[in-house]
Amino acid sequence: MKYVVLLITLFVWMSGRGQNCCAPTTTEQYAMNGAKAAFRNAHDEPIPYKHISQAGKDIMYKTADGKDAHAWFLPAKKKTPYYLFVIHEWWGLNDHIKRESEKMWNDFGVNVIALDLYDQQVATTREEAGSIMQALKTERAVTIIRGALDYAGKSAKIFTIGWCFGGGWSLQTGLLAGPQLAGTIMFYGQPEKDVEKLKTLNADVIGFFGNLDQWPSPAMVDEFKENMQKAGKTLLLHRYEAQHAFANPSNPNFNKEATQDAYEKLSAFIRQRMK
């Protein structure tokens, strides 16, 4: 009888360990918001826009899982080891993201790779965006990012930037970049909660968040600040009286003043670290 009880106890204990082991990652937790009406309704569907580029081109590169990955690439006008990895919003790599990528390419003189974590899926409705975001597998996203790092090469110095869904993945890309990281820029993205992971960051983070946002909420941003302090890492935190997606011109929550201020600060952040 004691043997049976012991077996049952061991089974329950191992079941509990299995649940903890398989808990969703930080980015997966954020992706679950795609099923929430409040989150979907906080995003107006993108205004139709076709970007005409000076130098941007679609590229494909191999990934470790044997598949091809897609990205949009702008080579620097003058040779430089600096790259800016741009991570799209929950809509996917659309022409709005290409426009922002090209603006920064012109302003900073870096190579720009706008990653495509959706494998050439672009949403035009909230329902599509929510479904694609929830369906993204962490393993595939990580493989796409690692493939882009290989494409840039071992001597590349990497900046990362993203908004919303892409804000969280900007931080994850910074973690994956290792010693090649030059700096990470987050716009209202999901912060990483694991202090041990944050300890592996090799460069500073600058973050822009809205005090009226819930994805992430001000409390989550406070926790991120504390976790970065515990990790001994630098977080340059900037907060605005603004809603979610305040830096998106096609969103009704667009805050021109906050966006301009944030862009001035991220510009200084990049330029200081390129000296």
The residue-averaged pLDDT of 239-250 equals: 91
Using CA atoms in the order 190, 242, 267, 93, what is the torsion angle rounded to 10 degrees?
Answer: 50
pLDDT confidence bin for 21, thresholds 50/70/90: low
What is the average pLDDT score of the chain? Answer: 92
β-sheet bridge partners, residue 238: 208
The 3-state DSSP class for residue 236 equals strand
Return the number of other C-beta atoms located less than 10 Å from residue 150's C-beta.
14
- Helix H or strand E encompassing 271: helix 256-274
* pTM of the model as a whole: 0.91
Angle between helices 138-152 and 165-177 (to 10 degrees): 60
Does the pLDDT value for residue 16 go beyond 90?
A: no
Q: Where are the domains of the chain?
A: 25-274
Does the pLDDT value for residue 162 go beyond 70?
A: yes
CATH number for domain 25-274, candidates 3.30.365.10, 3.40.50.2300, 3.40.50.1820, 1.25.50.20? 3.40.50.1820
- pLDDT at site 44: 86
Does the pLDDT value for residue 15 go beyond 90?
A: no
pLDDT digit string, tens, across residues 42-83? 888 888 899 999 899 999 999 999 999 999 999 999 999 999
pLDDT confidence bin for 250, thresholds 50/70/90: confident
pLDDT digit string, tens, across residues 81-93? 999 999 999 999 9
Contacts of 82 (CB under 8 A, 6+ apart): 76, 108, 109, 110, 111, 156, 157, 159, 182, 274
Q: In 3D, which of 86, 88, 87, 90 has the Cα closest to residue 45?
A: 90
The residue-averaged pLDDT of 214-230 equals: 97
